[in-house]
Amino acid sequence: MALNQLWFLIVGFLFIGYFVLDGFDFGVGMALPFLGKDDTDRRVLINTIGPVWDLNETWVVVAGASLFASFPEWYASLFSGFYLALLLLLAALIARGVAFEYRGKGDSPRWRATFDWMIVIGSALPALLWGVAFANIVAGVPLNAQHIYTGTLFTLLNPYGLLGGLMTLSVFFLHGLFFIVLKTEGEIKDRARQLAKKVGYVATVIAASFLLWTLFAHLSLLGAVLTIVAALALVAAQAANFAKKDGVAFTLMVVTIITAVGALFAALYPNVLPSTTNPAYSLTIENASSSHYTLTVMTWVAVIMLPFVLAYQTWTYWVFRKRVSRKNIPAGSH
């Protein structure tokens, strides 16, 4: 395997890891107005991800840095062309992080409600925009001969892109609900389970529509296998939720996201950013990658550092593995 192919897989792995981990963070944030009947409930929900959300978010930083170093031409065209969309995404992520940190700094209900809505919007908007972005990356965007994006923000808001955004929005919401069921106790857990049953129907229809559209547009054996596995895992996750098998439901949802995003990367290969203006203008793993020396150095760094990152992540989740309930929230705390 050539190093540029290897780094295409590594970039894919990093984005998949980000969507799996920050995906349920987004889902928990979106669940606040639906499951948080009072301030204590909302504290319970926030505490399920409180120790890990910032660690999960660092995956997108690593993914972006790896993309910049391994495929600088892809990074340049992507971030310049998707500038406004990514700026909105970044602003939403910043607002969410600020809300987590400052929510408890004030005593008034209005203060906490303001930051609660910042968490909701700061979770829902990135969940939507990531899907729009990746759908357009797979479908292709208008690039000229210099690999410069010639469209606008509204170019990205096409039917396929919007359907991709709705898929990630609904799937991440369901992913977060399964995480809440896994991490909480009592009435809030029961409400999350019931809401997951309803959201599951919507997520299944949207995800199936988007993945089938992708498969028919970019037919490949690997893509077909991953799409089938994603569909089966999504249905099985909901069945496990009905059967009250919390760990199984969440694990199957992880499999769903891994295979669904994997199907998108399979549809994209060997391109990294197709051009709808002229196929000859497309960015591929060949013309968008860094030099062989750069990729060699990066490979050694990845081989040494990635096991430490995964070990630390695993240890963190083990430390904070206990369930959260209302009794864990001290009276009068914020």
Domain positions in the chain are 3-327
pLDDT at 104: 84
pLDDT, tens digit (0-9, with 9 covering 90-100), for 116-137:
999 999 999 999 999 999 999 9
- pTM of the predicted structure, to 2 decimals: 0.94
- Does position 173 have pLDDT exceeding 70, yes or no? yes
pLDDT at 334: 53
pLDDT at 66: 93
**In the chain, pLDDT over 70 holds for what percent of residues?**
99
- Does position 142 have pLDDT exceeding 70, yes or no? yes
- Does position 332 have pLDDT exceeding 60, yes or no? no
pLDDT band at 90 (very low <50, low <70, confident <90, very high): very high
pLDDT, tens digit (0-9, with 9 covering 90-100), for 245-288:
999 999 999 999 999 999 999 999 999 999 999 999 999 999 99
pLDDT, tens digit (0-9, with 9 covering 90-100), for 180-235:
999 999 899 999 999 999 999 999 999 999 999 999 999 899 999 999 999 999 99
Give the 3-state DSSP-derived string for the chain, with helices as H, strands as E and coil as C: CCHHHHHHHHHHHHHHHHHHHHHHHHHHHHHHHHHCCCHHHHHHHHHHHCCCHHHHHHHHHHHHHHHHHHCHHHHHHHHHHCHHHHHHHHHHHHHHHHHHHHHHHCCCHHHHHHHHHHHHHHHHHHHHHHHHHHHHHHHCECECCCCCECCCHHHHCCHHHHHHHHHHHHHHHHHHHHHHHHHECCHHHHHHHHHHHHHHHHHHHHHHHHHHHHHHHCCCHHHHHHHHHHHHHHHHHHHHHHCCCHHHHHHHHHHHHHHHHHHHHHHHCCEEECECCCHHHCEECCCCCCCHHHHHHHHHHHHHHHHHHHHHHHHHHHHCCCCECHHHCCCCCC
